[in-house]
Amino acid sequence: MAVFIGNFITHSVFMRKYYVLLFMGIALFLASCRKDPATLSLTVQPKWGSDNLQLNTTYSSTGGYMNFSSFGMYLSHIKLVKADNSEVEVDSMALINYANNAIKIDLKAVEGSYKGIKFGVGLDSAQNAISPAQVDDQSAYKPDVLYWAQGLDHLFIAMEGHSGSTSSLGNIFFYHIGTNTMYRTTEVDQPFTVAAGSSTSLTLDADISKVFSGANGVNVLTQPGTHSTDSVAIAVKVADNFTQIFTLQ
Amino acid sequence: MRQSSRLYAIVLCALTIVLLAQCKHDPPITPGSNGTTDTLYTSTPYTFSQTIGGIYSYRKVKVPSDNPETYEGIRLGRMLFYDSTLSINRQVSCGSCHKQEYSFGDNQRLSQNVHGPTKRNASTLVNLGINSIFFWDGRQATIETAVDDALTHEQSPDMSALFAYLDTTPVYKYLFGKAFGKPVDNAPLVTEDKIVKAIAQFIRTLRAEDSRYDKYNRGEASALNAGELNGMNIFFDQQKGDCVHCHMDAPYMTLANVNVPMRNNALDTVANVSQFADIGYGQVTGDISDYGKFKIPALRNVEVSAPYMHDGRFTTLEQVVDHYGSYDSLRKSPTVDPLMERLVYPNIPDLTAQQKSDLVAFLKTLTDTAFLHNPDFSNPFH
């Protein structure tokens, strides 16, 4: 075999040239495969103040102590915003089903320089109308998460847990925010660039403590729950406050 | 031909073959056929509609790609389900605790396995093809792993003796061959994996979707009477029965999840979660915030599946409705469910006697009588 190959390689000058050409061709082909496209990701990190939000951990809010047993939300129509306010959508919908780990979303990497991002909290009316029956189990619209039966479509935000005037937490709370009128959009500014050959990773912090503090804060003890169809004012407050909790890094 | 061009040709051919081989899709596998035309080793695919209860449901029946349903597999699974040889003392089959007349649940408060009484009431087996959480403590995620778990822990057969029995019983020998094909390379005909898969295939066929409530949902308005309709409204009203928060999968009342499928439904008061008599899901996760949580059970055929709750503490539906129907009967604990509306709003009025009886009447419309008497599900040894 070795003799055979040796024979072949040294066969003639003409063949050697041919061989070099072949190698160049292969090299070129490989090089073209290796050109890195730009990548862009968004890591959503729920926070409580400066800490990463931990489920089943007791926090102090303006209204009282609280401890989340679950937290989830939908983000939709994530767009990159340029200095001239032109926008490009890079993801239609993402489910944030929080289990103490930040959720990383891969976005379409459209090259350019941007001043910030814009997105909806919840689902737009067309998305909200998508029934889990129409999608497969792997879909983010899947039935086991953030879905209401009884014609109310999807929950946009769900927070459930225990509360109390002392840290012993004798009470409970639940905020189920949904229905089309609760859909909100928000813009978060922090300049960044998406360039060919580089990976851009953005982190979107969502400070849940801001929902329960400030002049328009929800009081977890006196306003302990809403399904959005009752205690509507509380639901509106939660939906409005969610537009104020995001920061981009 | 010159040697070099010949080599080129060879390399080119080899490359082409490699590339084509990568493109080639695997041929569809016919279960049990193993490429043979031997009719002793071929099975007949069994198909059923993917959604239970028709257009009103959104959960789809999951059939694992490595365990497709076949008529022979289902027939084999049904025999194995009812065969008490599958236990160490040869007295306990799956059917011992999962009885058809009780929607494949158990009328005993605490079910008995080969080691004696367990600490829980056996769950019903109905419409499980759409389920992704099994056992009261939610410790399994597929029918196959759940069957294997129950076989191992509740029946604990001597596997080698069991294999020998199944391997030498003609009908089993025949069905294992038909259902799972001719073993290749001297592989055994009977394996634990095949036993589990066959039983799972049978369980997946246990579908109830023709109760009066189903008929009502399919447009037969007269299927429910006035009291039952009132009970239905109480069921869905969060300020009355508040059942819907957990049992929200309304169309066929099989399972319910919001985004947390394991819940503590205020059965016991404890100051410290370690004081729960049964910590349930906490045993699976080891997380103290999961102590005292259990799977939200199916309400399908609930009329016949008494006693109720993980420990069978309630013997009648009236007792269950009494528990949920007033603030005073709910027991607070550190993991009690945040969606129990009466605990959030203590001023919600207790259910009246009439409301309770209408609610119970509604729950009884979830019974699929044909399911309870379906001859395809019954004990083939009787």
> Are residues A238 and A139 part of one domain?
yes
DSSP state of B122: P
The DSSP string of A9-47 is: HTS-HHHHHHHHHHHHHHHHHHHHHHPPPPEEEEEEEEE
Enter the tokens of residue B374.
Answer: 């379906």
- Given a cut of 90, whether residue A19 has pLDDT beyond it is no
pLDDT at position A2 is 45
- Beta-carbon count within 10 A of B132 CB: 17
Residue A138, classed as helix, strand or coil, is coil
Average pLDDT of chain A is 87
pLDDT at position B236 is 87
> Are residues A130 and A27 part of one domain?
no
- H helical segments located in chain A: 2-9, 13-34, 125-128, 232-242
> Are residues A123 and A13 part of one domain?
no
Distance of CA B277 to the CA centre of its chain: 25
> Are residues A114 and A21 part of one domain?
no
Gap between the Cα atoms of B124 and B310, Å rounded: 11
Gap between the Cα atoms of B308 and B301, Å rounded: 12
> Are residues A126 and A54 part of one domain?
yes
Instruction: Count contacts between A and B (CB, < 8 Å).
Output: 87
Residue A158, classed as helix, strand or coil, is strand
> Are residues A130 and A13 part of one domain?
no
Q: Which of chain B's residues have a Cβ under 8 Å away from the Cβ of A225?
A: 341, 344-345
- Beta-carbon count within 10 A of B287 CB: 13
- Beta-carbon count within 10 A of B248 CB: 20
Best of B258, B262, B344 to disrupt the A interface (most A CBs within 10 Å) is: B258
Gap between the Cα atoms of A98 and A89, Å rounded: 24
Residue in the block written with tokens 């851009």 = A200
For chain A, give the longest Cα–Cα distance.
92
Enter the tokens of residue B382.
Answer: 């009787």
Task: Using alpha carbons, select from B250, B252, B364 the residue that is nearest to residue B304.
Answer: B364
> What residues contact residue A9 under an 8 Å CB cut-off, 6+ apart?
A16, A19
pLDDT band at A134 (very low <50, low <70, confident <90, very high): confident
Q: What's the number of domains chain A is made of?
A: 2
> Are residues A99 and A198 part of one domain?
yes
> What residues contact residue A191 under an 8 Å CB cut-off, 6+ apart?
A113, A114, A115, A116
pLDDT at position A143 is 60
> Are residues A203 and A113 part of one domain?
yes
Residue B271: closest CA among chain A residues belongs to which residue?
A168
Distance of residue A248 Cα from the nearest chain B Cα, in angstroms: 27
Ordered by where they begin, the domains of chain B are: 39-207 (1.10.760.10), 212-371 (1.10.760.10)
CA dihedral for A213, A219, A225, A226, sign (positive or negative): negative
- Beta-carbon count within 10 A of A15 CB: 16
- Given a cut of 80, whether residue A150 has pLDDT beyond it is no
Enter the tokens of residue B206.
Answer: 């246990």
Q: Which of chain A's residues have a Cβ under 8 Å away from the Cβ of B332?
A: 170
Beta-carbon separation of B339 and A160 below 8 A: yes
Among A residues 118-177, those touching chain B with beta carbons less than 8 Å apart: 131-133, 136-137, 143-146, 148-150, 155, 158, 160-162, 169-174, 176
Residue type, B308: Y
Contact between B304 and B366 under an 8 Å Cβ cutoff? The reply is no
| Bridge partners of residue B187, in order along the sequence | none
Among A residues 180-239, those touching chain B with beta carbons less than 8 Å apart: 224-225, 227, 230
> Are residues A14 and A111 part of one domain?
no
Residue B247: closest CA among chain A residues belongs to which residue?
A149
> Are residues A75 and A59 part of one domain?
yes
pLDDT at position A139 is 78
Gap between the Cα atoms of B120 and B139, Å rounded: 14
Best of A10, A172, A220, A221 to disrupt the B interface (most B CBs within 10 Å) is: A172
Gap between the Cα atoms of B303 and A71, Å rounded: 35
Enter the tokens of residue A50.
Answer: 């400066």
Q: Which among B244, B259, B340 is the nearest to A70, CB-wise? A: B259
Beta-carbon separation of A158 and B257 below 8 A: no
Task: Using alpha carbons, select from B191, B188, B104 the residue that is nearest to residue B148.
Answer: B191
Q: Is the ipTM of this complex over 0.85?
A: no
State the pairing for strand pair A225-226/A171-178.
Answer: parallel
- Given a cut of 60, whether residue A34 has pLDDT beyond it is no
- Given a cut of 70, whether residue A28 has pLDDT beyond it is no
Determine the length of chain B: 382
Gap between the Cα atoms of B151 and B164, Å rounded: 17
Among A residues 21-40, those touching chain B with beta carbons less than 8 Å apart: none
The C-alpha angle A223, B262, B93, rounded to 5 degrees, equals 160
CA dihedral for B117, B120, B124, B128, sign (positive or negative): negative
pLDDT tens digit at each of 382 positions of chain B: 455 566 565 555 554 454 444 444 444 444 444 455 678 899 999 987 766 665 445 667 889 999 999 999 999 999 999 999 999 999 999 999 999 999 999 999 999 999 999 999 999 999 888 888 899 999 999 999 999 999 999 999 999 999 999 999 999 999 999 999 999 999 999 999 999 999 999 999 999 888 998 888 888 999 999 999 999 999 988 889 988 888 876 444 444 444 457 899 999 999 899 999 999 999 999 999 999 999 988 899 999 999 999 999 999 999 999 999 999 999 999 999 988 999 999 899 999 999 999 999 999 999 999 999 999 999 999 8
CA distances from B156 to B162, B198, B226 (A): 11, 18, 50
> For residues B154-192, b (16+ Cβ closer than 10 Å) or e, as one string?
bbbbeeeebbebbeebeebeebbbbbbbbbeeeeebbbe
Best of B344, B347, B348 to disrupt the A interface (most A CBs within 10 Å) is: B344
- Given a cut of 60, whether residue A112 has pLDDT beyond it is yes
Instruction: State the burial class of residue A242 (Cβ atoms within 10 Å of its Cβ: 0-12, 13-18, 19+).
Output: buried
Q: What are residue B22's phi and psi, to 5 degrees?
A: -70, -35
Angle between helices A2-9 and A13-34 (to 10 degrees): 100
Residue B283, classed as helix, strand or coil, is helix
3-state helix, strand, coil in chain B (%, to 5): 45, 5, 50
pLDDT at position B52 is 62
> Are residues A133 and A11 part of one domain?
no
Best of A69, A103, A147, A166 to disrupt the B interface (most B CBs within 10 Å) is: A69
Tell me which residue range forms the domain holding A25: 2-33
Gap between the Cα atoms of B140 and B149, Å rounded: 8
- Given a cut of 80, whether residue A151 has pLDDT beyond it is no
Residue B247, classed as helix, strand or coil, is coil
Q: Which of chain A's residues have a Cβ under 8 Å away from the Cβ of B249?
A: 149
Lowest mean pLDDT among A100-109, A200-209, B27-36: B27-36
E-assigned strand segments in chain A: 39-48, 51-52, 58-60, 65-81, 87-98, 103-107, 112-121, 155-164, 171-178, 184-194, 199-207, 225-226, 246-248
Residues of B with CB under 8 A from a CB of A: 3-4, 7, 51, 55, 57-60, 62, 132, 236, 238-239, 244, 248-251, 257-261, 287-289, 332, 334-341, 343-345
DSSP state of B365: G
DSSP state of A53: P
> Are residues A174 and A85 part of one domain?
yes
Enter the tokens of residue B344.
Answer: 């959030």
Determine the length of chain A: 249
CA dihedral for B246, B252, B254, B258, sign (positive or negative): negative
* Residue B71 parent element (H or E): helix B71-82
Question: Can you tell me the mean pLDDT for A2-24?
Answer: 57
pLDDT band at A131 (very low <50, low <70, confident <90, very high): confident
